[in-house]
Each structure stands twice: as C-alpha cells, then as structure tokens.
Copies of this chain bind each other. A is one copy, B any other.
Amino acid sequence: MNKDLILEKQQQAVEILNEKGIDMWMTFVRETGNIKDPMLDMIVGTNATWHSAFIITKEGDTIAIVGSLEEANMKIVGTFKTVIPYLKSIKEDLINTLEKYDPQKIAVNFSRNSTLADGLTHGMYLELIDFLKDTPYKDRVVSSEEIVAALRGRKSDTELAIMREAVVKTLEIFDEVTEFLCAGISEKDVANFVFGKVEERGYGYAWEKEYCPSVFTGPDTAGAHSGPTDRIIQPGHVVNMDFGIKYKGYCSDLQRTWYILREGETEAPEEVQRGFNVIKESIELAAKAIKPGAVAWEIDAIARNYIVEHGYEEYPHGLGHQVGRVAHDGGALLAPRWERYGNLPYMTLEERQVFTIEPRLTIPGYGIATVEVEVVVTKDGCEFLSPNQEELFLVKP
C-alpha cells in the first residue's frame, strides 16, 4: 500500500468529479476478501469485511463508513480523513452522511461497459437501494463509469515512473528468454524458466500465473489465452510469448516473436519474415495515429485493415487495451465495434493513458506472429514505453 499514491489518486478523483459535474462518488463493498471492487486498491488501500462505504466528495472530503471492528485499521491505513464506525447496520450513518452533503448525483461502481467500474455486486446494489428507499438519494444514483475511466486512464507522474520501470524489468526477462530458447524444450520449460526469474526478483504476475507467460510454438497452437503446454519447440517453428509482471502494484504486458532456424538456415523463410514485418509495420501505423481525441476503434481499424490488405485473416480480438494496476485497465479500448466490447471502442483517447498495441497474424505452417508494445498518449501523439520489436529474433537450432 502506497499511501501517497492513494492520496494523489483521490485528489485526482476530486478534480474529475468537478469536471464531470458529479457531487459524490461512493464505493460500496463488503467481504472484499471474497469479492473485491477493482477500485479498492487505487483509492482505499485496505480491505473491508462488513458493509462499507468509501466516499469522495467534489469538495475534497473523504469519508469511510466501516464496521466498528475495522475503525482502528482504517485509521492506521490513514487514507480517509473521516472514519465513521458502526456496530449493527451501516444504514443510519450512510443516510446521515448523504444528508450532510445532499448530493444531486451520487456515482456508484456499476457499468455495463467497464468491469473496472463494475465492482458493485447486484446484491449490494439491492441493499443500497433498499437502505435509501425512503430518501431522495435512491433516484440520484448514477454510474461511476466516466470517473473510473478518467481516473484509471490518466496516469500520474508517479504511476508512469513505476510503469516505465516495470517495462524495463519485463524486457530483461524477454532478453533472457531469447538466450534460453532452443529446439527440444517445451512451452512449459520456457514458462518455468520465466517463473524462476519472476520469483527470484520478487515480482508479481500481471495476470493469472496459469497463462503468464503464455508461450506458443509452431503451427498447431491453442491460440491466445491458454497456458503453456508440453508441446516441443522445433526447428521451423514461430514462437511467441505474452508476458507481464506486477511491479509496485502496476502491470506490464508485452509480446515478442522468435523463429527457430532449421538446419542450414541463416535467416527466416520469406513468408515468416513477411508476416513478422506486417505485424511490426501495423504497430508503427497504429501508433502514428494515436493522440488525444482519436477514437479508439479507428486505431484498431488501421492495424486490422493493414493486416487484412496483406492477405492475412483479421485478429479475433482488439488491437490493444489500457494497462495500469491491472493488465486490462481503464475505459477506452482499441477494439472493433463488436457487441462484446460495449461502448469502449467508441471512447476517445486522453493524454496520459497507457495502451498496449498487440496485433496478431497466423503464418500458415509456421505459427503465430505477435508483437505487443506499450505506449503512453502524449499531448500530441504517443510515446513508446517499450520499443517495437524491430527484428524477428532468430534462434539457432
């Protein structure tokens, strides 16, 4: 728990509340050891057992209403200026606090579009509405989607500094994998090698360890979002790895592609090189279009069209997502306008958002070429936090 960073994000939340014309933002949770609102780590910094309301107002007040047994802990954690303990029910203190501020709009964490703004469970929503049923506040509840997207998207200087470090440390592991790779070992061997590096350095995993890293070798792999298998890396395989660490609470998310030379080869076959180049170029093209105000799906379309125009199938996912405390972070998503992505592809980009760019294509008979970079949106463009992969990595057999 980095208290200064939490206070920095709370302060930013107050500015966003004023910008969006919302009077109060309430994160309403219980038993966060069982199911945890994704905003808790960013704006609270500890857990809650009983019904708890973590309130930030447009005036800059922060109020935590918590079970009496957690009062002491909240005060030690020290991220909320006012801590109100209750014994039997939160209802009275909650209503008193609302009456004190009389907010016209109360944002709570539910969203059809963004999981990160959707930490309020349906049962807790019913609880809240029932607590408020005899007050005007039940009709003033709105989605916190806009607040969460802005707050998670706009990285502070502290956050960007941590994320730059995380990228450097991740690329070190990729370089070590390049040294380690050879024909004859399995996808799982590569993953175990990576686990060793992560654990000896005390990092966390950016997503579930079961597929962090994901390692795919050759033409017959399972595709994305699968764990490494016993499949053996062989000459003539294209190999790719998707991997990120969690470092000081922030994630990295990168991919690289290798080719395993066959006996007598000194470079990759023409069709492998061509597939890799199309990936690399599609990243360059997409990155050139990224700037504040750009529409997310249009960035996806640039890379997608470039790949299709070169005769490959389109990738069956979005071009990129935001990264932050979680690997899939923020609101705006560089994705096509498919129903499963909700309104996220329609959002516009903002300065200080960090995106991945991660196109993919299949090179028939060889495997899958993928490169993933991270970029941060700047005032008038974007900056690569991790370099593009300029050359296909060749592995001697």
Contact = CB atoms under 8 A, between A and B. Distances in A.
A18 interface: no
A122 interface: yes
Interface residues of A, number: 65
Interface in A312-348: 316-317, 326-328, 338-340
The residue among A67, A72, A87, A90 with the most chain B CB atoms within 10 A of its own CB is A72
Interface string A20-38: 0000000000110111111
A211 interface: yes
Contacts of A47: 208, 210
Contacts of A112: 123-124, 126-127, 130
Given A35-B37, A112-B126, A73 B118 contact: no
Say whether chain A's binding surface is mostly helix, strand, loop, or mixed.
loop
A277 interface: no
Contact of A126 (B72, B110, B211): B110
A34 B206 CA distance: 11
A305 interface: no
Contacts of A184: none
Contacts of A130: 112
Given A110-B123, A122-B122, A317 B34 contact: no
Interface in A247-270: none
Given A121-B118, A122-B125, A339 B72 contact: no
Interface of A: 1, 30-31, 33-38, 46-47, 49-51, 67-70, 72-73, 76, 87-91, 110-127, 130, 143, 207-208, 210-211, 222-227, 229, 316-317, 326-328, 338-340
**Shortest beta-carbon contacts, A-B, top 8:** A72-B222, A89-B339, A118-B123, A110-B122, A31-B115, A122-B125, A73-B226, A88-B338
